[in-house]
A = this chain, B = another copy of it.
């Protein structure tokens, strides 16, 4: 029973070369409205955007295999494979790929409880999702490190590939994940399974994020020593405080190489709200205690870096253009492509949440 660290493996940064990106076809009627058709249309746009830079593997249920395969039959660089799932969040149910810098590739198969299990988890059973990472790794004939009993979703961590890991206390210290492990034990697992030397803990993620504050919807690395933080100057937005709280942590942190972090800010779009089931939304979407549709955790930070591309969600929001301009400035060597993100957001996440990159070792 070795660990990735003991075997020389670590999680590379997202900007490291990738051999493919994994995704899952959306279907679940309590996540995706209108038979998932609007979401499927936008997933196709994301797939095609990524495929310009990196081959894509799209996993589907047996039921959807033909429809998805036919839709993508003319898209070179995209393959469709059968792989059962409970929902489409490959970032969280998929493996975390590792490299060893000597041509080796491996993957972590984290235990999975649908973002909280019986204490706030997002669906009643998740046993099919819990096998996704193993199936992906076996399909690639890639060595698998499982962490039975240790719950983690890929969207709750970001790394710089140089020893620094960014996460949130709200998620990783949440008693609905690993109630018997404290901060130190969890840091130990992160070190052993991602190669991190230094863990930077933001107190929480974006307001209303049903993942319990995944970092990938709030803050990410853009290169070693530089992070990008979601931001609002609207003092009435609950995120106003969360952003400043995070900024304070980031500005006083050093990374694993001893660097002070440069913090860039990426504005939030204007508030976007769920669509109630009664108004055409997904099954079970109900008003909040004031009778209003709940606000969704919309964020431009939920983008994917994939080889020479950066695929970022847009929201048909006036802020879209500003977000694009910031990302183009921050990624001058990449092509930044904005894809429709509103339907994916309605399902509960965005482009980073529905993708999982496989590094090219």
Contacts and interface: CB of A to CB of B under 8 A. Distances in A.
A62 to B, nearest CB: 4
Interface centre among A55, A131, A141 (most CB of B within 10 A): A141
Q: Please classify the interface of chain A as helix (H, G, I), strand (E, B), loop, or mixed, using the class held by over half of its residues.
A: mixed
Given A69-B134, A79-B138, 20 more contacts: A55-B141, A62-B62, A62-B84, A62-B128, A65-B131, A65-B135, A66-B131, A69-B138, A79-B139, A79-B141, A80-B138, A81-B81, A81-B135, A81-B138, A81-B139, A82-B82, A82-B83, A82-B84, A82-B135, A139-B139
Give 10 closest A-B pairs by Cβ, nearest first.
Answer: A62-B84, A79-B138, A79-B141, A81-B139, A80-B138, A82-B135, A82-B83, A82-B82, A81-B138, A82-B84
Nearest to A138: B79
Contacts of A134: 69
From A69, A79, A81, A83, residue with most partner B Cβ within 10 Å: A81
A200 to B, nearest CB: 36
Interface in A8-55: 55
Contacts of A131: 65-66
A135 B139 CA distance: 13
A62 B131 CA distance: 10
Contacts of A82: 82-84, 135
Contacts of A69: 134, 138
A139 B79 CA distance: 7
Contacts of A65: 131, 135
A84 B79 CA distance: 17
A55 B140 CA distance: 13
Contacts of A55: 141
Contacts of A81: 81, 135, 138-139
Nearest to A127: B66
11 contacts: A62-B62, A62-B84, A65-B135, A69-B134, A79-B138, A79-B139, A80-B138, A81-B138, A81-B139, A82-B82, A82-B84
A129 to B, nearest CB: 12
A25 to B, nearest CB: 13
Interface in A52-93: 55, 62, 65-66, 69, 79-84
A82 B81 CA distance: 9
A83 B81 CA distance: 8
A344 B140 CA distance: 29
A65 B55 CA distance: 26
A211 B8 CA distance: 52
A184 to B, nearest CB: 32
Interface string A180-201: 0000000000000000000000
A139 B141 CA distance: 13
A135 B65 CA distance: 9
A96 to B, nearest CB: 19
A69 B79 CA distance: 23
A349 B124 CA distance: 42
A86 B128 CA distance: 21
A160 to B, nearest CB: 32
Nearest to A132: B82
